[in-house]
């Protein structure tokens, strides 16, 4: 269990992180990326897929996996709406938050 003093520091840290995010969004907003065909098509398929279920308690790992699947689906939506093919590569301007989620998933 987290103590109240530590919880307060984490809440303050969260507010500072959000403030940084506002500055990043104002400066960057979108990031141009190039994706290979197979990856781009898999992202669009994730967006097109209907998922059933939910509501059941989940572990931290299950939450993380579901969150990443949702991030992939949102990238698939961006690809569907704004992506363009250049040969075997898909070019799309991703929201910086989506690009960041993909980057975090790769690490």
Q: Which domain holds residue 72?
A: 29-106
- Is residue 3 very low, low, confident or very high in pLDDT (cuts 50, 70, 90)? confident
Backbone φ, ψ for residue 13 (5° rounding): -60, -40
In a domain, 15, yes or no: no
pTM of the model: 0.81
- In three-state secondary structure terms, 32 is strand
Residue 4: the pLDDT is 82
Would you say residue 13 lies in a domain? no
Tokens of residue 89, six digits: 């590569």
pLDDT band for position 24 (50/70/90)?
A: confident
**Is residue 35 in some structural domain?**
yes
Q: What is the pLDDT, as a whole number, of residue 51?
A: 80
Which residues lie across from 36 on neighbouring strands? 89
Enumerate residues 6+ apart whose C-beta is below 8 A from 105. 68, 71
Count: domains in the chain: 1
Residue-wise pLDDT for 77-105, tens only, equals 999 999 999 999 999 999 999 999 999 99
């Amino acid at each position: 269990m987290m103590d109240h003093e530590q919880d307060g520091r984490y809440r303050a840290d969260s507010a500072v992180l959000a403030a940084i995010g506002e500055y990043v969004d104002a400066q960057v907003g979108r990031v141009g990326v190039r994706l290979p065909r197979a990856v781009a098509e898999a992202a669009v398929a994730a967006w097109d897929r209907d998922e059933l279920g939910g509501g059941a308690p989940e572990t931290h790992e299950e939450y993380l996996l579901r969150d990443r699947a949702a991030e992939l689906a949102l990238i698939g939506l961006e690809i569907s709406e704004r992506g363009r093919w250049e040969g075997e590569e898909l070019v799309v301007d991703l929201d910086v938050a989506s690009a960041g989620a993909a980057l975090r998933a790769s690490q």
